Amino acid sequence: MNTFIFDIDGTLLDNVEGYLYGLQKTLLRHGRKVAIHDLTWTNGRAGVDSLKELGFSDAEIPTVHEEWRQDSRAFLTDVSWFPDMQAVLKQLGQQYKLGLVTSKDKPQFLEEDKKYHFSPYFQTVVVAGEAKRNKPFGDPITLARERLGGNPEKTIYIGDTSTDAQAAANANVAFALAGWTTPPSPAVAPRIAVLHQASDLLKLPDLG
């Protein structure tokens, strides 16, 4: 493997629950009481796509999406990178091509980039709406791979959700599971590796 493409939430940052609690609060404002475990399917998906599946109209989605972003802020005050992740990315970047594919839209990504400083580690970033279709389709991964000049056989996508696994399969690239967030199961397959800590990423070049 010589081309590595990463998800952000739950893969690089320990922040997944914050967005779920934010969405729960937003839905409650709109008269919907939904348990957190019934919202986990939204992980890894573009917010606008999730809201559409939740039944909001095209006219409502921009406003509700902004409410979700604002409601999530209160639950994202203590977010940090997973241990040793930045050091590992720096080491990988000395030899290999690194990219980001995220379901965040551009304003949200730019806001978080100012806070967490993703950009120095990655040669390209694909945000929601930039490719023809968002995850779980493979279009964003394919776009990132093409920008990096990688080929499918030597590219791997690292993520933590079934949406990520589906997107990797659709893009015809390998998938490694961020096991520090999600335990392995049939829902997050096919995969070639389960990663337990950031340093496990350094073993991926030997897989192909």
pLDDT level of residue 78 (50, 70, 90 thresholds): confident
Q: Angle between the 16-29 and 61-73 helix axes, to the nearest 10 degrees?
A: 130
> How many beta carbons lie within 10 A of that of residue 43, not counting itself?
23
Query: Could you tell me if 69 and 94 lie in one domain?
Result: no
Residue 53 has pLDDT above 80, yes or no: yes
**What's the CA gap between 159 and 94, in Å, rounded?**
21
Domain range for 141 is 3-14+80-207
Query: Could you tell me if 118 and 31 lie in one domain?
Result: no
**pLDDT digit string (tens) for 16-46?**
777 888 899 999 999 999 998 899 888 777 7
Query: Could you tell me if 189 and 128 lie in one domain?
Result: yes
Residue where one domain finishes, among candidates 24, 57, 73: 73
Query: Could you tell me if 8 and 35 lie in one domain?
Result: no
Query: Could you tell me if 52 and 132 lie in one domain?
Result: no
| DSSP string for the chain | --EEEE--BTTTBS-HHHHHHHHHHHHHHTT----GGGTGGGTTS-HHHHHHHTT--TTTHHHHHHHHHHHHHTT-TT--BPTTHHHHHHHHHTTSEEEEE-SS-HHHHHHHHHHH--GGG-SEEE-TTSSSS-TTSSHHHHHHHHHHT--GGGEEEEESSHHHHHHHHHTT-EEEEETTTS---GGG-S-SEEESSGGGGGGGGGG-
**What's the CA gap between 136 and 148, in Å, rounded?**
21
We report the CATH number of the domain holding residue 59 as: 1.10.150
Strands of 174-178's sheet in order across: 124-126, 97-101, 3-6, 155-159, 174-178, 193-195
**pLDDT digit string (tens) for 108-142?**
899 899 989 999 999 999 999 999 999 999 999 99
Query: Could you tell me if 43 and 116 lie in one domain?
Result: no
The Cβ-side half-sphere exposure at 129, using a 13 Å CA radius, reads 9
Mean pLDDT of 153-165: 93
Query: Could you tell me if 64 and 123 lie in one domain?
Result: no
Query: Could you tell me if 10 and 22 lie in one domain?
Result: no
Q: Which range has highest mean pLDDT (104-118, 137-151, 169-183, 190-204)? A: 137-151
pLDDT cut 90: percent of the chain above it: 68
Q: Can you read off the two tokens belonging to residue 127? A: 């945000």
Determine contact, residues 167/137, Cβ cutoff 8 Å: yes
- Average pLDDT of the chain is 92
pLDDT level of residue 208 (50, 70, 90 thresholds): low
Query: Could you tell me if 84 and 69 lie in one domain?
Result: no
| pLDDT attached to residue 94 | 95
Residue 143 has pLDDT above 90, yes or no: yes
Chain center to CA of 196: 17
Residue where one domain finishes, among candidates 29, 44, 73: 73
Query: Could you tell me if 98 and 60 lie in one domain?
Result: no
We report the CATH number of the domain holding residue 10 as: 3.40.50.1000
Number of structural domains the chain divides into? 2
| pLDDT attached to residue 199 | 96
Query: Could you tell me if 32 and 51 lie in one domain?
Result: yes
Query: Could you tell me if 56 and 107 lie in one domain?
Result: no
